[in-house]
Structure 1
């Protein structure tokens, strides 16, 4: 069972899936940026706290921090800040008694902040250590201020920034999804209108579609109009063919019926035999026309190349000539075949090629006129084609009459033929990559059917 899908759903997926992937990548990038932003902001807050503590220690001569400074440090840092200050010679001044042990062994430079990571009370913390030259109670030396803050507060701040950004993107994606879903529906409305316009048509209405459609669909409509035009042409040709076929079959059928009725009333055995021979001739003609009509109907649809077989055309031509030759010789005509020695391989439909050759020979016999005395068949292996030429010395056929001679149900001059023989031969030649041509000759008629070697 063929799986069906909605064009609306497909367009929605083609638009939204890439946007979702891009949104995921932007969300990851935004989270990383938020972490970096939080790291920078909190590091600056730690630096401000360290500088404020150093200033208070210097001003107060080693006393505790003022309440104002403690409040400012807490507010600026965005959370609880721990600190530890030592004066000259490493004397403890103020703050928490035991600062976190820093794993880094790098020596801090004077008046240059040094950041590191450590653990304090089993929690990861960010540590800042700064060394300044101070003088307390007349003692000068290097004072070290160490401040630290829990990493959890930084991560929570970064996560909060990321959540806000992700919420904003999710809202935008949801809004965009709604816009795309209903926008695609509105965009496909011309297709639905086109479907409705086609659905209300009757089977007999094959006129062109003239409804206004978007540029992207104009190619589809143009192709559909071209197909409708071809279907209309095919139906017209089929109707003409049926009409002509009925006309061609009516006369032989009437003749057979009339001869059968007169045969019943024959006064003498000789007259009966004469009418019986005429009846047989009319029946053969009717059968011939019927076979040609069936062949023409089959040739209306091109034969797929996969159905072609490879065979020896020389042998096929000889078989056809062997079948027709005795009848021509019995009419007092000369009949000859000229073919190369050995095989002449070709890929095609053997039945149709045989029928086409029979039609060429039959055409020469029926239209040769009273002065017809010879019919010849020549098989030639050319460069890219194989040619079969049927010539006679009858009243002749000019290339100027090719349209009438090769057309369906048409003849250059009235005769008892159906007007299909040369049309069938021309169609067979075209389906085998060649053509049927009327050769300019001084005496009689000469037709060449060329076919690709394959």
Structure 2
């Protein structure tokens, strides 16, 4: 499961700033705990050594006998509310016990005169801290130093650690809370530009596509504002294009419906059967024209959807698809007395496409050529293999397209000749949209004969 983060940018920034700050605080607390433990151990060792030295001052050598008196001050150093147990042991250099507890072990190493040693040990199944001190006997140097040991349990030691560390913990938590508050205020002030940008976007009029003003925005947000403005420009262009398309489509559909209404009214008013027949034939032509227009609008919509949301493409034989389209349009070519021919390829011509999109592309190219080629003309479909592409060629000997208009004819509803020319001005627009969706390119030129139009659609070669 992915970790959940706050939705607010301010909260996220504060979180990512507090994480390293919290890690540093935790490290500081760990170091504070170590320092507290070291301090408590030092204090305890000093108390134990002080007690051992007080006892050492009371050692006397009289008539060859070492005498030791334990002064109350030596043990009063350890009086506290923790009720620690205190043990002591005084032994001669030869190890003979002079006074104290036999359970307290001797130092692990021999001590030189006036040398001390602190170590941990166990007395009566309790851990203790022991300090041993070697007190020389000046009256009898041959006796060697007397070893004085004082031990204490760890209750006061542990309480001191807790008190020191608790103080550091409280201080660290207060500092972390203060840092969080200051960071929150800093982020609130630092994100004013982003909040201002949000307010600007939120207060825009519905449908407004004006670019954002990058003036009040911080430098780090300028790329975001630039990207939004670029998107707004592209969206504005697309909306304008869609608006023009809808207006043109409405205009194109209004014309056949107006003609239909006129012919229907005329047919209803006239009693002449011949005129009724002419009216029905005109209605039939307009219905067929309107049906083709609607079909081409649907084809263009599907082509645009394919360009914006590409579908999985599969190898499709371009030569086989061209053969099928020519068989479907053979009736139209015969009705217009046009020689429709195919120069078949030497073998399969696979291209990456869907069968429906490739059929629509080839059908629109051939249909366009048939409608703009005068009776008695020729339309030929061929192929050309190149190193990095496969080209579909559709050539006719019709009126052609002047070089100055070869870019404009791809616009929707563009018709160079309005004097009764067939078509709706959508064929090449559909071809271009489908080619864009398939990664192909469309090029218009003159045939080698110099008469008519040659349309080339170059498809990328499929990898082996």
Q: Check the 8 A contact 2:310/2:437 in 1, yes or no.
A: no
CA gap of 1:346–1:230, structure 2 versus 1, over 3 A, is same
Q: Quick one: distance in 2 between partners of 1:430 and 1:66?
A: 104
* Matching residue of 1:396: 400
- The answer to whether residue 290 in structure 2 is matched with residue 286 in structure 1 is yes
Give the aligned partner of residue 196 of structure 1.
199
Residue 272 of structure 1: how far off its partner (Å)? 5.1
Relative to structure 1, the CA distance from residue 71 to residue 111 in structure 2 (aligned partners, 3 Å threshold; closer, same or farther) is closer
Instruction: Describe the superposition over 1:62-93 as per-residue Cα deviations: whole angstroms up to 9, x where unpaired.
Output: 777797xx759966999997655456777877
Q: Distance in 2 between matches of 1:223 and 1:60?
A: 100
Q: Is 1:340 aligned with 2:345? A: yes
The match for 2:226 is 222
Once the 2 structures are TM-superposed, how far is the Cα of residue 447 of structure 1 from its aligned partner?
0.9
**Match among 124, 132, 137 for residue 134 of structure 1:** 137
Task: Note if contact 1:99-1:146 (Cα within 8 Å) is conserved in structure 2.
Answer: no
Matched residue SS, 1:320: helix
Q: How far 1:360 moved relative to its partner? A: 2.1
Q: Tell me the secondary structure at the aligned position of residue 337 of structure 2.
A: coil
Partner SS state of residue 407, structure 2: helix
Alignment map for 1:60-139 (pairs within 5 Å): 71=73, 83-85=88-90, 96-98=99-101, 100-102=103-105, 105-120=108-123, 123-136=126-139
Alignment match, 1:315 = 320
Quick one: structure 1 residues 265 and 337, their matched pair in 2 at CA, closer, same or farther if it must change by over 3 Å?
Answer: farther
Are the aligned partners of 1:84 and 1:146 in contact in 2 as well (CA < 8 Å)? yes
Unaligned runs of 5+ in 1: none
**Equivalent in the alignment of 1:27:** 29
Match of 1:231 in 2: 235
Which residue of structure 2 aligns with residue 330 of structure 1? 335
Q: Secondary structure at the match of 2:144?
A: strand
Deviations 1:314-362 (A, max 9, x none): 3322222112122222332212111225543333233333333233223
TM-score for both structures, normalised by structure 1: 0.83
Cα deviation code 1:262-311 (max 9, x no counterpart): 44566866555555444433332222222222322333332533354554
Q: 2:232 aligned with 1:252, yes or no?
A: no
Per-residue CA distance 1:140-176 (angstroms, 9 max, x = gap)? 4213131313132333333332222222212212222
Indicate conservation of the 8 Å contact 1:398/1:445, yes or no.
no
Asked whether the equivalents of residues 47 and 77 of structure 2 are also in contact (C-alpha less than 8 Å), the reply is no
> 5+ residue gaps in structure 2?
none
In structure 1, distance between residues paired with 2:19 and 2:344: 70
Residue of structure 2 in register with 1:357 after alignment: 362
1:376: how far off? Answer: 1.0
For residues 317 and 95 of structure 2, the distance between their equivalents in structure 1, rounded to whole angstroms, comes to 114
Query: Over the residues paired in the alignment, what is the CA RMSD in angstroms?
Result: 3.7
Aligned counterparts of 2:385 and 2:59: Cα–Cα separation in 1:
115
Check 1:180–1:410 CA distance in 2 against 1; reply closer, same or farther (3 A cut).
Answer: same
Residues in 2 aligned to 1:267 and 1:288: alpha-carbon distance in whole angstroms = 31
- In 2, Cα distance between equivalents of 1:19 and 1:139: 62
Kept in 1, the 8 Å contact 2:446–2:452? The answer is no
Change (3 A) 1:365 1:58: same
| 1:375 alignment partner in structure 2 | 379
Seen in structure 2, the aligned counterparts of structure 1 residues 339 and 382 have a Cα distance that, compared at 3 Å, is: farther
Candidates 432, 442, 452, aligned match of 1:444 = 452
CA deviation after TM superposition for structure 1 residue 226, in Å: 2.7
